[in-house]
Amino acid sequence: MLWKYQDAGQPPLPYIALALGRARGVGRDAIVEDYDAARPAGQEIRRRLVGLREVVLSLECYTADTVSGDAPPGALLPLVDSEELCERIRSSFALPSMQDRLWSVDVSVFDIEGSIQTLPTIALGLGSFRGRSVLDLRCYMPAPALAEYVGIISQVTTTIHVADEGNPLDIEVNTMLP
């Protein structure tokens, strides 16, 4: 398994190339505030962005076989074409163990019914077809972790200037806030 668009060479068959689509916002993001008096002065309040993003995880499965079937004479494993490999992967996302692994990294697959597109390609230099199928899964993930810190105003000092018939009076008011 590898990430698509890498500079590394093609691994031996079968292999899966992963690609992550552009994230789209789902609904409206919210700002959540929390207070911690132990933070440095001026940073006691943290404002965090919380939201949900939808992203498409694309799995391109490449196999040497273009059809599935029984193991040929002398082979230990049955033939598995790229479409069968994609179907096995899609089915595995319904297993609780797979869902737990995804939840541990804050990812939730909500559309495991995505269609499988089969696109056999000619293997360069070999002159024969190899299996290639694509499965797109739609997932939810959290918005990027963004935060800003603000402080609390603990004291306000103001000066009131009162003028009454030529007798000006300045009053300084110093207020401590709770």
Consecutive H or E run containing 86: helix 82-92
For residue 177, name the pLDDT band (cuts at 50, 70, 90): low
Q: What are phi and psi of 58, to 5 degrees?
A: -105, 130
The tokens for 175 are 């207020």
pTM: 0.66
The confidence score (pLDDT) of residue 83 equals 86
Q: Which residue has the higher pLDDT, 167 or 90?
A: 90
Q: What is the pLDDT of residues 91-106, one digit of tens each?
A: 888 899 988 998 998 9
